[in-house]
Chain A
Amino acid sequence: MFNTRRAALAVTCSLVLGGLAACGDDGADTSETGDPPASSDAGGGDLPERIVSLSPTATEMLYAVGAGDQVVAVDDQSDFPEGVPVSELSGFEPNLEAIIGYEPDLVVADALPDDVVTGLEAADADVLLLPAAATLEDTYDQLAELAVATGHEDEGAEVVAGMRADIDEILASVPDRVVAPTYYHELDDTLYTVTSSTFIGELYTMAGLENIGDAADPDGTFGGYPQLSAEHIVTTDPDFVFLADVECCGQNAEALAGRPGFAGLSAVVEGHVVELDDDIASRWGPRVVDLFRTIVEATAGLPVG
């Protein structure tokens, strides 16, 4: 019994953590409560002066829209841009007292338990929940929302316009192909992947690529984050492999080639294994442009048709 319970817990957790972006998708239990109220009143008269961010993506967004000076503390996973005031606060296990200790007037997170939201509001802090984006438009919306809430509406609009322009420019360089090249995006070395229905999957689709993971989760049973069978990867033999587990799990082109049966993969033989930055590939902030550029540039060399 002990083992089953533990296994069940582990299933839940690995699913929740399976691609950080997944957290927000099914974080419905929290987001329903906190979303709208905070942003509406923060946009008015009093601008927040003591912001606490519990989400690495929100941290990147805050600094991008120019609200960095108002940020007093960020969670232990936030690490960009350089010099952010990293604290011991955790976004996964938010500690109400520890957060209130920073005397915030605005707390930004991707998801928070109801009791923490209530507690923060009781302590006169506004709460803004920005769950994992499902599309690029969500990212733009969140940037704009955050910009308004922090009093940087114009800068926020500029950032979004700049991102749109960059994405369009990169998009224009994507060659028209007769047959879409295929890819496998690896979340960890136990072969968890994303489908096209996810935020990151959308970027690959925009880059004109076809996802070999789609077959494993056609109806969204796994929430867009299925665990692939090694046999599937070997037989579908994707043109490209993107590793988003370089940092977390020490993977690289060499390690990939060393796995049983993987040495003969076209992507390995042709040198089409792309090592991504785990952080950029798991956040939906402003650096998504860099990720998109990496994807498009890495695949540009493949002959058209």
Chain B
Amino acid sequence: MAVAAAPSVPAPLVRVARLRAGWLAAGSAAVAVAVVTGVCFGTVALPAGEVVRELLWFDSALTDTQRTVLWQIRLPRVVLGLLVGSTLAVSGASYQGTFRNPLADPYLLGAASGAGLGVTFVIVNLAEGSRTPLGAPAAAFLGALVAVGLTYLLGMAGTARGSTASLILAGVAVSTFLTAVQTYVQQRNQDTIREVYNWILGRLTTAGWREVLLILPYAAVSWTVLLVHRRSLDVLAVGDDEASSLGLHARRTRLAVVIAASLGTAAAVSVSGLIAFVGIIVPHTVRLLVGGSYRVIVPLSILFGGAFLVLTDLIARTVASPAEIPIGVVTAFLGAPFFVLVLRASKR
């Protein structure tokens, strides 16, 4: 809504908003708090002081088991949460900007359904023994990219300049189609249905450093491209014609942003499954708090998105400890009411 209400005056004239140091500091503080809390709390109680010593000076009173928990289980999970949350949030913000649609989310162009289909195919068709540990993530990644590519081709086909509406509609069509195929394949293979569901549900539970290393390069590229284009998103927000008159090549910019956001989404989905809502709630909350300029929203979404997912994951793994609950449930359960609160507060 915030985007739809964007003024029709050329953006640079009204949006002098710069990323103020205060907000940047707040975002960084959120990340720091989330990481420290996420690392210190969990199923196993770790003494906070010793954890900080261990992380900073490598000389602490932690036992071997505690050290194993910290370095091999908890820290990689926190870092992965940070990467996935940031990537989903910044992708969401970028999609919302480039499509001028407040409901756009990282899964808009079919990334989720493509990834789901890819994973389902791998799980169903490859006997577990012949699968490499990265088989499913690779399939998710490929599936997401192929789906987004298909959406782009279809969405661009009928229109001279490729309107955002036709692209979104193509995304809906591709998503629905791929989801149908995925559901069919999954229901035909009852013996693996549970494994497929487990993946689709979204999880950071089996995280190790392997997943972190897998996603890091894609996340870095995605963030960089999106950060570079954050000013262009402000210009796109006023409409393609106006953007052109301001000297921006709207189509080329949109393509770059969509590819970068989709690449990031595909990487995130490939290691974490489908985690709902982060890509919508975080950017909108940031927008409601600091205003509508993407110059501010994009970088802050990276910071707050990472912090948000680390904290929701902390809840997912501690609220029923030593049992876990799916993180997707927590993001939606907490995120939606929180978002409504922010929305109401900002209207007052």
Pair B76/A260 contact, Cβ less than 8 Å? yes
B118 CB–A CB distance under 8 Å: no
Pair B44/A3 contact, Cβ less than 8 Å? no
Which residue of B44, B68, B72, B320 contacts A226 across the interface (Cβ within 8 Å)? B320
Which residue of B65, B131, B205, B210 contacts A230 across the interface (Cβ within 8 Å)? B205
The residues in A between 1 and 26 inclusive whose CB is less than 8 angstroms from any CB of B are: 2-4, 6-7, 10-11, 13-14, 17-18
Which residue of B44, B112, B128, B329 contacts A231 across the interface (Cβ within 8 Å)? B44
Complex interface: stretch among A42-50, A142-150, A232-240: A232-240
Contacts of A234 in B (CB 8 A): 44, 65, 68-69, 73
Closest to B46 in A: A231
Complex interface: stretch among B16-24, B192-200, B246-254: B192-200
Instruction: Please report the C-alpha to C-alpha distance between residue A247 and residue B195 in the assembled complex, in whole angstroms.
Output: 12
A35 CB–B CB distance under 8 Å: no
Q: Produce 1/0 per residue, A214-252, CB < 8 A to B.
A: 011100011000111111101101000000000111100
B100 CB–A CB distance under 8 Å: no
Pair A10/B201 contact, Cβ less than 8 Å? yes
Closest to A229 in B: B43
The residues in B between 123 and 170 inclusive whose CB is less than 8 angstroms from any CB of A are: 127-129, 131
Complex interface: stretch among A60-68, A160-168, A187-195: A187-195
Pair A7/B323 contact, Cβ less than 8 Å? no
User: How many Å from the CB of A141 to the closest CB on chain B?
Assistant: 27
Pair A229/B112 contact, Cβ less than 8 Å? no
B202 CB–A CB distance under 8 Å: yes
Pair B329/A11 contact, Cβ less than 8 Å? yes
The residues in B between 173 and 224 inclusive whose CB is less than 8 angstroms from any CB of A are: 187, 190-195, 197-198, 200-203, 205-210
Contacts of A188 in B (CB 8 A): 194-195, 198
Instruction: Please report the C-alpha to C-alpha distance between residue A108 and residue B72 in the assembled complex, in whole angstroms.
Output: 48
Residue among B76, B203, B321 with max Cβ neighbours from chain A (10 Å)? B321
B276 CB–A CB distance under 8 Å: yes
Contacts of A270 in B (CB 8 A): none
Instruction: Please report the C-alpha to C-alpha distance between residue A244 and residue B58 in the assembled complex, in whole angstroms.
Output: 38
Contacts of B332 in A (CB 8 A): 3-4, 7
Pair B205/A190 contact, Cβ less than 8 Å? yes
Contacts of A92 in B (CB 8 A): 190, 193
Closest to B280 in A: A3
The residues in A between 23 and 80 inclusive whose CB is less than 8 angstroms from any CB of B are: 76-77
Which residue of B129, B192, B194, B328 contacts A7 across the interface (Cβ within 8 Å)? B328
B322 CB–A CB distance under 8 Å: yes
B10 CB–A CB distance under 8 Å: no
Pair B65/A17 contact, Cβ less than 8 Å? no
Contacts of B64 in A (CB 8 A): 264
B317 CB–A CB distance under 8 Å: yes
Which residue of B105, B201, B323 contacts A11 across the interface (Cβ within 8 Å)? B201
Pair A4/B321 contact, Cβ less than 8 Å? no
Contacts of B201 in A (CB 8 A): 7, 10-11, 14
Instruction: Please report the C-alpha to C-alpha distance between residue A7 and residue B274 in the assembled complex, in whole angstroms.
Output: 8
Selected A-B contacts with CB under 8 Å, 8 pairs:
A3-B277, A3-B332, A7-B328, A10-B201, A190-B198, A227-B325, A229-B205, A248-B192
Q: List 15 additional contacts besides A13-B197, A228-B324, A260-B208; criterion CB under 8 Å.
A: A10-B201, A11-B201, A77-B190, A92-B193, A188-B194, A217-B323, A229-B43, A231-B43, A231-B73, A232-B43, A234-B65, A234-B68, A234-B73, A260-B210, A264-B68
